[in-house]
Structure 1
Amino acid sequence: MIIFNDYRYWQFLILFTFLICTSRTSSAADTLHVQTHYQQTVVTDPSKGFKVYKAWGKFPTAETPIRKIILRLFLGCPDGMRCADWDYNDHIKIRRTGGVGGTSQDYEIARMLTPYGGAFSKEWNFNWEVDVTDFSMLLRDSVEIEYNHTGYEPNEDRGWSVTLDFEIIKGQPAWQPISIQKVYDDTYRYGDGNNNIEKALKPVAFKADPQADFARLRVVQTGHGMDKPDGCGEFCNKYRELWYDGRLLETKNIWKQCGDNPLYPQAGTWVYDRANWCPGNLMLPDIYDLKVKAGNTHTVDINMQPYVSPNSSADEVISAYLIQYKKAISVNDIAIEDVIKPSLKPVYRRLNPSGIQPQIVVKNIGRTDVKSMRIQYGTNGFAKRSFYWKGTLPAGGTTSIILPGIIESKAGQNNFEAVISLPNGKRDAFPADNRIISPFATMTKHDSMLVVYLKTNNQPSQSSYIITNSEGKVIREKAFGSLKENTIYCDTLLLPKDRYQFVLLDSAGNGLEFWANPRGGSGKARLLNSKGQMIKDFESDFGSSIQYNFEVGTPATPIAAQTSFSLYPTRTNDKTTLDYYANFPDDVVVRLIADPGGDVMEEHHYKQLKEGTFTYDLSRFPKGRFYLSVLIGGEEKFKKRIRLKE
């Protein structure tokens, strides 16, 4: 599983097995973990709009060489509380270095946009990671780390459990940092005709250190606010220009598509595209390596697309830092950064489990462009394969490489291993970060007869699906525009032994069901076996796409006690309908729960229920919000928010 449902397992994961998702060849002595916040209960302060949580961490000394620092952020529901509701802008900062009497600092090293957590179960949790090696000069000795949680929602019964873990890999740095300075770090009003944002985003000059080879500009930018009529800055697509020494380096749209968010579904408008962020998103910075001339003065300038609003409430939240580095220590030096598939990491859950074409991330941390490398890869316990990559990977650049072939596995958990070597045919200068091991779960194995069950919604022109085999050959397809509304399609397939991929697409990015799209209605997709038993149920509120990888062969995976839930509509003036389907009968309890308060407004008991459709009339209740909760055998299996008369 990618989202672990056992809270005790999650605690064990945090405490003892940070390296379970991706491990390297570095020995335990070369890697250490600094936890500044451990399951810290984080709530808002509605009187201020923010609340800070500070904690100290003991980092390596200044004399200790650091190769890499990864910040991992774990979110869960706090003990005795439910997960919080809103997509707030949280900042992780270095506040002080050198101990209590040390130097005051104010560096945002990461930014978290919290998810809509109102419908998460109490066992829910998720984690993200970001490379913060650029702050290695400051993450030394005693450091005070601040988690700043913004927002105004009630704080008595909801919040987050936050853990911050810094994974520090010791070793020769790829580049030796010289200095770090702020370029921009503020909330900038955008669209005010009387106060142009460019007055604040002025060009910033810096002098190159005599030892500097390049300066790295690290930028995190998100848009917020909701002016009329454009919806800026959260819901308007504007561009940003980056100028260096009077020359335009890049024009970039400050915009992010959210329909493929790995954290889904969420309670709110999680599928809506936004200004460079999505709910449930630890921001990854934009990185620019700028060539400098030692002793010369250079200028960095960020400009926003010209924009004026008659009702300006838009803000661009920008932190930009400039880190000067010495020349890369090695000429030929590559590092394997990550495994996208196969993987257990939550951020890659839409692509996994996977059975074909492994995908890795490689970075060039040497002085010269890399034109070729050797990659050896495969599942431990099986024969390894070799792939010779050719292309152009610039110095400081990162690339994703798709490797040919199948991903072999045995039942249960497996370990995929990849080793990179011979950059430009030369010996790699630092082989310790050339090997990676990624634990992964094997794909489910099905019988040869498979039924694709698809019930369309009111907007079938937005839906399509395709099934391909391991060679990419199309086995069955329902193209966009070929489906009718509110129609059930059952396609029976007889498949030979192979690996397959089922992809369900929605061109509007709002799945087969989305509470804020009542005109779309509700649809359903699942895979059945020849007996009509459910072998895979798909969440209807999936955003842009669903990808399911499976194998046909023997022995087939036994039929599990799966259940399927669908509640629609979740914004209503009177009635809502629950569709329930299970492979095996069980005792089911359905509860309507007030929010806030948690009072049970009504409760329904169904003995040995296997399948049914139930309509509940809520018109007698006053305007407000509720949860519909389904318990099976006394355990909550489904929970969804209902907006009544809103």
Structure 2
Amino acid sequence: MLATLSSKLAVFLLAAVLSLVATAARAADTLHVVTHQRVTVVTDPAKGTNTYKAWGRFPAAKEGIRSIKLNVRLGCPDGMRCADWDYNDHITIRRTGGVKGASQDYEVGRMLTPYGGAFGKDWHFNWEVDITDFSLLLRDSVEIEYNHTGYEPNKDRGWSVTLDFEIVKGRPAWEPISIQKIYDGSFRYGDPANSIENLLKPVDFTAAKDAAFARLRVVQTGHGMDKPDGCGEFCDKYRELWVDGKLFDKRPIWKQCGDNPLYPQAGTWVYSRANWCPGDLMQPDLYNLPVLGGSRHTIDLTMQPYTAAAAPSADEVISAYLVQYRKAAAQHDVALQAVVRPSLQDAYRRENPASMQPRIIVKNMGATPVRSLTVRYGLAGTARQQYQWRGNLAPSASTVIDLPGLIAGRAGRNTFVAELLRPDGKADQYAADNRLASPYEAAPTHGSDLVVHLQTNNQPGQNSYTLTDNAGKVWRQRPAGSLKANTLYRDTLRLPVGQYRFVLLDSANNGLEFWANPRGGRGKLRLLNATGAMLKDFESDFGSSVVYDFAVGQPVAPITAQTSFGLYPTSTNGPTTFDYYANFPEDLVVQLVTDPGDAVVEEHRYPQLKEGVFTYDLSRFPKGRFYLKVLVNGQEKFKKRIRLKER
């Protein structure tokens, strides 16, 4: 009897181990198809477009695909500087089925390039977007095209572009049946002689006999500069989606840019725009339309009525695709899409490093709404916390979940682990995507005596700050309306051991400094210790907010060779002021160089400088653009553009 039980137990344990191994294998079965590897991309000023094509080998049609994520990495090209302008670039499936295969021309990604004029040569940034909806096309040999638009000079500037298709193999949550192009093009908006509604015509489709729903995937951005409205780039208009003659959705084609994780940039990066921001990989609007097999339906996108006052120049650039899907493969199935904090991902820079309230993104991959979910999380190698989430997460919808508690970690690199368990109290029917490990840097630890050093600008009514602990207690605040212009505030704090979050807000979304807002002047924010050493220097050109998490306790983070740079104004008829602050004396070389050309026209040397303010008069130079470069101990540490006599 005992032998029989032992034998059964052994079989059970073996089966459990094999199941765990199989689950781990499924989770790790990820394929990276890199079609463009650090390709140098420049404009073709004669045409306004320049295409870069490459082939990739994707999974065979019979292989199951769980998800596809497009990772786009931009950097400065070797031997060139980063490009200047916010151009509208398209990433497209050109051909499928090999060299002689069919032309497809499906846009899978749209990249709005940043204002890169002030980026250093080692700059790079990563974006990502889920493109699983194109899994029917991304099979076998596929030709991918990166289409870079624009007219700027192409001899000394450009982008280094990497396209990485991250494919997780496995059972699809919804099996696709077909993909159909609905709209694809640039549609003139505001033309009194030809309404955009004459171009965005209703489109009919027939549901497949085994279709459970149809997903409409829309990417739309507005461009052009009508007078006086600034359409289509700078006018806030709405779009409606009509399905079978009934209003299905209405939303503004507008996006706030002051919280862009890529900041600062050289141009007008903080200005809100028609559904995009400079330095932005577009995220699609997704609409799931319930259908019955064989039924007929009509889709119609319409825009808010608008007529240009003068010659129309506005365009709405729209790509819209309809993907029909069979019913979900599982009833109870959730996926952990991302760990927002703690994280090292570029897209979450504004929220990290974090010391409290982990944040994750969860998606319902099943057929039924999810109303409860257990999340287990914490520092790898330590005891985990558990949190019971309750809500109503519809099929295929995603939600952000803030988890209670602290984010523990040692100084330097750590790993945070989160895992989803028991959706609605049931076993998850596809557990391979329930767990993520997120590398992160621990928030710094400071001593109890701190100084908030805030120099206000000319518009202090736009600013406020709060310092709270992990329990939400406010330890110090300067409410909106309480600050005076051009005033230095040194708020001395004595804090007990704990976790804290400092937040500075700007209601105008243009920070303490913005080159195109000369009336605002320039302010400065630093966090100092009791002896005046700089613990954290904050970029003045921050847009909408800065967030800084830290701990008070032991061991205290050592004082490092931090440096602070400032240059204002950067649009001038002559004088501009450079300020510098450092924890330790350093050898500085300040250079004024031409743009383009990088010819040094003025140079200043400051040996063993710790702090200083210097004014330079550039009025003797001709109208144009320059860069101020600062080399610290021979290494370039600061670079900012100066617009001379352009106003």
TM-score (norm 2): 0.96
In structure 1, list runs of 5 or more residues that go unmatched. 1-23
**Does 2:44 match 1:42?**
no
In structure 2, list runs of 5 or more residues that go unmatched. 1-22
1:166, distance to aligned residue in structure 2 (A): 0.6
1:556, distance to aligned residue in structure 2 (A): 0.3
1:383, distance to aligned residue in structure 2 (A): 1.1
CA contact (8 A) 1:255 1:274 kept: yes
Residue 512 (structure 2) aligns with: 512
Equivalent-residue separation in structure 1 for 2:625 and 2:601 (angstroms): 12
SS of 2:432's equivalent in the other structure is: helix
Residue type of the partner of 2:229?
Answer: D
CA contact (8 A) 2:189 2:316 kept: yes
Equivalent-residue separation in structure 2 for 1:411 and 1:464 (angstroms): 30
Residue 18 (structure 2) aligns with: none
Residue 245 (structure 2) aligns with: 246
Give the count of matched residue pairs. Answer: 623
Residue 336 (structure 1) aligns with: 336
Residue type of the partner of 1:71?
Answer: L
Equivalent-residue separation in structure 2 for 1:74 and 1:261 (angstroms): 16
Superposed CA offset, 1:93-147 (max 9, x none): 0000011011111100010000000000000000000001000000000000000
SS of 1:356's equivalent in the other structure is: coil
Residue 81 (structure 1) aligns with: 80
SS of 1:367's equivalent in the other structure is: coil
**Does 2:300 match 1:301?**
yes
Residue 116 (structure 2) aligns with: 117
Residue 33 (structure 1) aligns with: 32
Residue 168 (structure 2) aligns with: 169
Equivalent-residue separation in structure 2 for 1:27 and 1:375 (angstroms): 21
Q: How does 1:310-321 map to 2 (within 5 A)?
A: 310-311=309-310, 312-321=312-321
CA contact (8 A) 1:222 1:276 kept: yes
Identity among equivalent positions (%) equals 67
Equivalent-residue separation in structure 1 for 2:72 and 2:62 (angstroms): 27
Residue 271 (structure 1) aligns with: 270
Equivalent-residue separation in structure 2 for 1:526 and 1:236 (angstroms): 36
CA contact (8 A) 2:411 2:444 kept: no
Q: How does 1:547-626 map to 2 (within 5 A)?
A: 547-626=547-626
CA contact (8 A) 2:363 2:397 kept: yes
Residue 439 (structure 2) aligns with: 439
SS of 2:71's equivalent in the other structure is: strand
Q: 1:25 to 1:621 in 2, by over 3 A?
A: farther
1:412, distance to aligned residue in structure 2 (A): 1.4
Equivalent-residue separation in structure 2 for 1:248 and 1:377 (angstroms): 41
Residue type of the partner of 1:438?
Answer: S
Residue 390 (structure 2) aligns with: 390
Residue type of the partner of 1:287?
Answer: L
Q: How does 1:463-542 map to 2 (within 5 A)?
A: 463-542=463-542
CA contact (8 A) 1:594 1:625 kept: yes
Equivalent-residue separation in structure 1 for 2:28 and 2:405 (angstroms): 35
Equivalent-residue separation in structure 2 for 1:173 and 1:373 (angstroms): 22
SS of 1:276's equivalent in the other structure is: coil
Superposed CA offset, 1:568-607 (max 9, x none): 0000001000010000001100000100111111110001
Equivalent-residue separation in structure 1 for 2:585 and 2:371 (angstroms): 59
CA contact (8 A) 2:378 2:417 kept: yes
Superposed CA offset, 1:594-641 (max 9, x none): 001111111100010000000000000000000000000110000000
1:411, distance to aligned residue in structure 2 (A): 2.0
Residue 143 (structure 1) aligns with: 142
Residue type of the partner of 2:241?
Answer: L
Equivalent-residue separation in structure 1 for 2:163 and 2:25 (angstroms): 22
CA contact (8 A) 1:68 1:168 kept: yes
Equivalent-residue separation in structure 1 for 2:280 and 2:25 (angstroms): 29
Residue type of the partner of 1:598?
Answer: D
CA contact (8 A) 2:94 2:106 kept: yes
Superposed CA offset, 1:321-356 (max 9, x none): 000000111111111100010100011000001011
Q: Give the structure with higher Rg (CA).
A: 2
Residue type of the partner of 2:306?
Answer: Y
Residue 64 (structure 1) aligns with: 63
Residue type of the partner of 1:639?
Answer: K
SS of 1:279's equivalent in the other structure is: coil
**Does 2:197 match 1:195?**
no
SS of 1:325's equivalent in the other structure is: strand
Equivalent-residue separation in structure 2 for 1:553 and 1:26 (angstroms): 41
| Runs of 4+ in structure 1 over 4 Å off | 24-29
SS of 1:519's equivalent in the other structure is: helix
Q: 1:141 to 1:314 in 2, by over 3 A?
A: same
Equivalent-residue separation in structure 2 for 1:417 and 1:246 (angstroms): 47
Residue type of the partner of 1:218?
Answer: R
1:310, distance to aligned residue in structure 2 (A): 2.4
